[in-house]
């Protein structure tokens, strides 16, 4: 039996094609995945991300506990109203999940992936030390409003909070009444994500819809995040890969050296011995679509495979991420596509920055 978000009826009313996404009934698209992709790049679109898991963390030891739990260091957040992105690792340095941690007044909030919800909650509970209280918040909904016109079109709905949201830097947030509004997203575009009571989500959705914010589904969300060079948990990273092998070294805070976060020893060894493989961006230089699992080769040697792949609506070409042997520096590679070796070029991520090819 799949679960439904508070916006399920809104999706059906908009003609969404619904699919089972990790146990949730979610919209794949509302008629055209490509059009939804373009509207986010050029104007404003909104996504129901209420399937994500919100966990509030309270207690006098919460900050110290998070400094041990996460590879990034929440001590960087010197005041409330700021957030950071981090991986949560096992002792071997493998990625259990990626998440965002928000520092509030006297407490913290985490948003983790729906696919890893049960495992994440169990891991957090097992690692808990001291005065730490974890509270899952299934009563909340979450809407991501993304695109170059997102803030302008959402201005009426934001109301008195509009100026404060407009003034936020990336990964900043404000709390306006029962709305938690953060300048975060998964598309590479401007915009915000709002966490709000589930019983208020449908009204918010309708107000945003009336303001010209178009609904967008999981299909567009995937091509947008891929163009933006953003990893997807379960494909581009998982327990078998470390952040250093997943283009996420920037999310690991090795300083100060005395912070003993889970997985630190394994990552330190890997840094000293050399990372055996790396995650890179590739662009197909022929007609076709790159797909997860396709093998890459160089000079007759298989060097890795695609972890994600799709047709980029913005670039009009096949793009993807590939985990390859770290000793390969060549810029021109080949992909095995149904028995044919086609050329791909390694490219610097992101593929697209603010609607334009990077």
Structure tokens, 347: 């490219």
Contact (Cβ atoms closer than 8 angstroms) between residue 357 and residue 41: no
Contact 233, 100 (CB under 8 A): no
Check residue 319 and report its DSSP letter.
E
Residue 89 lies in a domain: no
> DSSP 3-state assignment of 111?
strand
What does the pLDDT read at residue 163? Answer: 98
pTM for this model (two decimals): 0.97
Q: For position 332, which CATH number holds?
A: 2.40.30.110
* Nearest alpha carbon to residue 47 among 224, 222, 199, 215: 215
Question: Do the domain assignments include residue 16?
Answer: no
- List the one residue out of 41, 354, 45 whose CA is nearest residue 211: 45
- DSSP code, position 231: -
DSSP annotation of 317 reads E
Supply the pLDDT for residue 354: 81
The count of other CB atoms within 10 Å of the CB of residue 31 is 12
Q: How many separate domains does the chain show?
A: 1
The pLDDT score that the predictor gives to residue 358 is 61
Q: Which residues contact 50 (CB under 8 A, 6 or more apart)?
A: 5, 6, 7, 140, 141, 142, 143, 198, 201
Distance between CA 23 and CA 21 in Å, rounded?
A: 5
Q: For residue 186, what pLDDT is reported?
A: 98
Assess if residue 336 is contained within a domain.
yes
Separation of alpha carbons 349 and 328, rounded Å: 17
CB atoms inside a 10 Å sphere around CB 80 = 14
- Residue 261 domain-assigned (yes or no): no
Domain that holds residue 318: 276-357
Please, how many CA atoms are within 13 Å of residue 79, restricted to the half-sphere of its CB? 4
Q: Quick check: is 96 in a domain?
A: no
How far apart are alpha carbons 83 and 80 in whole angstroms? 8
* pLDDT on residue 49: 98
pLDDT of 194 reads: 98
Which residues does the chain have with pLDDT short of 70? Answer: 358
Residue 239 maps to a domain = no
Burial class (CB in 10 A: 0-12, 13-18, 19+), 256: exposed
The answer to whether residues 331 and 344 touch, using CB atoms and an 8 Å cutoff, is: no
Residue 269 lies in a domain: no
Could you tell me if residue 351 is inside a domain? yes
Q: Find out whether 220 and 146 touch, Cβ atoms under 8 Å.
A: no
Expressed in percent and rounded to 5, the helix, strand and coil fractions of the chain are 25, 35, 40
H or E element that contains 81: none
Q: Which helix (H) or strand (E) holds 235?
A: none
């Amino acid at each position: 039996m799949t679960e439904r978000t508070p916006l399920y009826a809104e999706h059906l009313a908009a003609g969404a094609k619904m699919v089972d996404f990790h146990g949730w009934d979610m919209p794949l698209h509302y008629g055209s995945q490509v059009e939804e992709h373009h509207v986010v790049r050029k104007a404003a679109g909104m996504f129901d991300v209420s399937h994500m898991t919100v966990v509030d963390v309270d207690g006098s030891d919460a900050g110290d506990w998070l400094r041990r739990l996460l590879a990034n260091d929440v001590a960087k957040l010197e005041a409330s109203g700021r957030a950071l992105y981090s991986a949560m690792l096992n002792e071997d340095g493998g990625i259990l999940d990626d998440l965002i941690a928000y520092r509030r007044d006297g407490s913290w909030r985490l948003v983790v992936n729906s696919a890893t919800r049960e495992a994440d909650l169990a891991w957090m509970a097992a690692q808990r030390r001291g005065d730490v209280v974890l509270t899952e918040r299934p009563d909340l909904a979450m809407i991501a409003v993304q695109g170059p016109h997102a803030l302008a079109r959402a201005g009426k709905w934001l109301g008195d909070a509009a100026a404060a949201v407009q003034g936020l830097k990336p990964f900043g947030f404000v709390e306006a009444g029962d709305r938690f509004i953060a300048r975060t997203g998964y598309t590479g575009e401007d915009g915000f994500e709002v966490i709000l009571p589930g019983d208020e989500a449908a009204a918010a959705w309708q107000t945003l819809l009336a303001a010209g914010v178009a609904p967008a589904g999981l299909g567009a969300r995937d091509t947008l995040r891929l163009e933006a060079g953003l990893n997807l948990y379960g494909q581009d990273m998982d327990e078998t890969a470390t952040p250093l092998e997943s283009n996420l070294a920037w999310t690991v805070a090795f300083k100060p050296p005395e912070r003993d976060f889970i997985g630190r020893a394994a990552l330190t060894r890997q840094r000293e011995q050399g990372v055996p493989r790396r995650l890179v961006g590739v662009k197909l230089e022929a007609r076709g679509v790159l797909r997860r699992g396709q093998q890459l080769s160089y000079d007759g040697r298989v060097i890795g495979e695609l972890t994600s792949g799709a047709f980029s609506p913005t670039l009009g070409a096949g793009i993807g991420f590939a985990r390859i042997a770290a000793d390969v520096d060549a810029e021109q590679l080949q992909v095995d596509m149904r028995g044919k070796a086609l050329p791909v070029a390694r490219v610097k991520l992101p593929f697209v920055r603010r609607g334009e090819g990077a």
